[in-house]
A and B are shown apart, each in its own frame.
Chain A
Amino acid sequence: MNNSRHRNTFSQLEIRQVKKRNLQSWFLSMPSLIWLTAFFAVPYLIVIIYSLLVSDIYEVKFLFTLGAYREILSGAYFKPFFLSFRLALITTLFCIILGYPVAYLIARSSEKWKNILLVLIIIPFWTNFIIRIFSWRIFLSTNGMLNEALLSMGLINQPLEIIRTDWAVIIVMVYVYLPYMILPLYSVIEKLDFTLLDAAMDLGASERKAFFKVTLPLSREGIFAGSILVFIPALGAYIIPQLMGNQNSLYIGQIITYKIKNIPRNWPVASALSLIMLIIIAVILLTGFSIYQKRKFRRMDEAR
């Protein structure tokens, strides 16, 4: 608004300078543009093209068709989609329930303890992902440590069949994705003004009510960020269901892999499945953000 008043007072020199600056900013943004084109746009273009082709035994035939989409929309892949969503949802929920108290505890500890605890949260990342999953297999297996311990304590008479169930998948999913929930939650809770809790209690709220009326709503941003970080990768999970689950409940990540791995290969269906996943995730993210933004703007509008 302010600029428009001054626009016609630009001299030739200034215009030249602005042009030069535009050129500079183009030049400086080149690396990221190249990066995005090479690693995002081109691969997805290939995926889009492949999803429109016809499958052959090993490769594809360059005939354009919507066959892959028709196959998917006929409902043949409803179950893996459903399982994947259920898994992502349960994983996210457990991560919130388990992660929140931990994040809260870290945020309220003394400076020294904060750093120690944060390092402890991050340490698992230093160990190879596959090795950590195999450790869980050993731990949860029929003759594994967990069962032996429970048996020797007399808590159970027969070994629990955890390994190769959906529960085994959920346990390891939660284990792997928990830090992604804790860290954003921590950063939000740490900034929270805890005298607000005093204020709530002063006004008659018990500790529990103060938590639900003040602390929890004020950590919404952390829950939102953590949920995105957990939900989206959990939706496409492949390795954990593959190593911990069973072949009766196949998740979408596994289906996509099988479509490519098993002969005859079906590149078009795998590509189309990936794209549909991408669209679903994009829709979820965009609705999430727009609800969030709307709330923020409403807050600002009402203030006027």
Chain B
Amino acid sequence: MRRALEEIRIEHLTKSFDGFVAVNDVSLTIKPGELYSFLGPSGCGKTTLLRMIAGFETPLTGRILLGNQDITQLPPYKRQVNTIFQNYSLFPHMTVYENVAFALRIRKLPNPEIDARVREMLQLVKMEDQAAKYPNTISGGQKQRVAIARALINKPKVLLLDEPLAALDLKLRQHMLIELMNIHDAVGITFIYVTHDQSEAMSISDRVAVMNQGNIIQSGPPDDIYERPASIFSAYFIGDTNLIPAEVTSIEEDYVDLKCQAGGQDSFEIDSTFNIKPEVGQKLTVSLRPEKIAVSRTKPTELDDINVIKGVIEDILYLGTHTQYIVKVGNLKFRVFDQHKRVYFDEAALDWEEPVWLFWHDTDSWLIDEVTPAGLDVGEINVFERPIQMSRGGKRIPRSE
């Protein structure tokens, strides 16, 4: 069922509702056959952008091109684009079979052909034995499969998925995510995937566009965005990170010296390789991922290219795969992930309020040319004193006496 693939070009797309700009001058190109994600917090305009591609909303300005065809003004039923809706929107008065057959019935194809294609689709999503059931009698995961089969039967050039897994529980979500990737491989068409869940976007996408307040903040492969965030928002939204306000004190050939404010009179010096062109005296923000920092009660001996700072453990959170330490350095709180390997450090477990050394390689920090986080409400998310997230589930290690 592979067909000639075409790229999607979105040019300067803007949409507003009663003066409220939901999508602001968005331009991007999605390559043929790509699995592309729009990732951003709730209300950032992902659905609106998707609905414009599907044809349910008309943009205020801008164009959408599918291959060489300008589809901006085409009604939804004339676009070779199909959608999986946020709540599946299966027709409750039709069986699973008829739901899947719907698009072909509309086109008035002969019955034997409809039957063959419906069976093929149901097989693809492993729902052959549920064909006669009605949507209100099948589970959420099964509805999801039917929605996929229904959307794919018309052989669209692009499949749009609006938070397709949001309504499923965690285990099923992980399972369906893999299934979706398999289906993407099987049909080979372009998928545009909308989600607010960064881990979902990271694991499934070829490329991700990070959105906030109607704007695309950054786009690229997930590892690129994770390792090289272009803004505080990207760094914050994708994965966990430590954001340190810093000032450039001197520039060497392949690294810069930075002075980091730790509140009040406290400050410490670190080195970092640079990804932006810094100037002496420039203020910027350093992003340092928690898993790149090592924590130990003994000071490391090998100090070449390693930053070492001293702090005090304030909180310990056991998370199964790793332990999260909150380490206070001056007024700054560092989040540090320590994997449970006893190969490197032959020492007893770290304890509350214990003075420790934090150290990391100076290629592991990342410079962001922003001082205040654009698009982030600083009051709401205090970048430098963020609450400990329990989202991954975990058990706080009790304070030992």
Which residues of A line the B interface, CB within 8 A? 193, 195-196, 198-206, 209, 213-214, 217-218, 220, 299-300, 302-303
> Would you give the 0/1 interface string for B62-106, flagging 1 where the beta carbon is closer than 8 Å to chain A?
000000000000011100011101010111110100000011011
Q: Are B134 and A203 in contact (CB under 8 A)?
A: no
Q: Cα distance A218–B76 when bound, in Å?
A: 22
Q: Report 30 cross-chain contacts, Cβ distance below 8 Å, ordered by A residue.
A: A195-B85, A196-B91, A198-B76, A198-B85, A200-B102, A201-B56, A201-B75, A201-B76, A201-B77, A202-B55, A202-B56, A202-B81, A202-B83, A203-B82, A203-B103, A203-B106, A203-B150, A203-B154, A204-B77, A204-B154, A209-B106, A213-B105, A213-B106, A214-B91, A214-B93, A217-B93, A218-B93, A220-B93, A302-B133, A302-B134
Nearest 7 CB-CB pairs, A to B? A303-B137, A199-B89, A203-B103, A201-B76, A204-B106, A303-B133, A302-B132
Q: Cα distance A200–B54 when bound, in Å?
A: 12
Q: Cα distance A302–B94 when bound, in Å?
A: 12
Question: Is B107 on the interface with A (CB-CB < 8 A)?
Answer: yes
Residue of B nearest to A193 (CB): B89
Which of B77, B81, B87, B90 is packed against the most chain A CB atoms within 10 Å? B77
> Would you give the 0/1 interface string for B216-230, flagging 1 where the beta carbon is closer than 8 Å to chain A?
000000000000000
- Main secondary structure, interface of B, reads loop
Additional A-B contact list (17), CB under 8 Å, known A195-B87, A199-B85, A209-B106: A195-B89, A198-B56, A199-B83, A201-B75, A202-B54, A203-B82, A204-B77, A204-B103, A205-B77, A205-B102, A205-B106, A213-B102, A213-B106, A218-B93, A300-B137, A302-B95, A303-B138
Which residues of B line the A interface, CB within 8 A? 54-56, 75-77, 81-83, 85, 87, 89-93, 95, 102-103, 105-107, 132-134, 137-138, 150-151, 154
Cβ contacts under 8 Å, A193 to chain B:
89
Q: Cα distance A203–B105 when bound, in Å?
A: 10
Across the interface, B82 reaches (CB within 8 A) one of A195, A202, A213, A217, namely A202
Q: Are A198 and B154 in contact (CB under 8 A)?
A: no
Q: Are B107 and A204 in contact (CB under 8 A)?
A: yes
Chain A nearest CB: distance from B92 CB in Å?
7
- Main secondary structure, interface of A, reads helix
Residue of B nearest to A199 (CB): B89
Q: Are A196 and B134 in contact (CB under 8 A)?
A: no
Cβ contacts under 8 Å, A195 to chain B:
85, 87, 89
Q: Are A206 and B95 in contact (CB under 8 A)?
A: no
Q: Cα distance A193–B136 when bound, in Å?
A: 14
Cβ contacts under 8 Å, B89 to chain A:
193, 195-196, 198-199
Q: Are B134 and A299 in contact (CB under 8 A)?
A: yes
Residue of B nearest to A206 (CB): B77
Residue of A nearest to B75 (CB): A201
Q: Are A203 and B93 in contact (CB under 8 A)?
A: no
Chain A nearest CB: distance from B146 CB in Å?
12
Cβ contacts under 8 Å, B87 to chain A:
195
Chain B nearest CB: distance from A294 CB in Å?
15
Which of A196, A201, A217 is packed against the most chain B CB atoms within 10 Å? A201
Chain A nearest CB: distance from B220 CB in Å?
29
Q: Cα distance A303–B151 when bound, in Å?
A: 22
Cβ contacts under 8 Å, A214 to chain B:
91, 93
Q: Cα distance A203–B79 when bound, in Å?
A: 9
Residue of A nearest to B90 (CB): A199
Q: Cα distance A293–B230 when bound, in Å?
A: 61
Chain A nearest CB: distance from B145 CB in Å?
16
Cβ contacts under 8 Å, B154 to chain A:
203-204
Q: Cα distance A196–B135 when bound, in Å?
A: 13
Q: Are B91 and A199 in contact (CB under 8 A)?
A: yes
Cβ contacts under 8 Å, A205 to chain B:
77, 102, 106
Q: Cα distance A287–B252 when bound, in Å?
A: 91
Which of A198, A203, A299 is packed against the most chain B CB atoms within 10 Å? A203
Cβ contacts under 8 Å, A220 to chain B:
93
Chain B nearest CB: distance from A52 CB in Å?
48
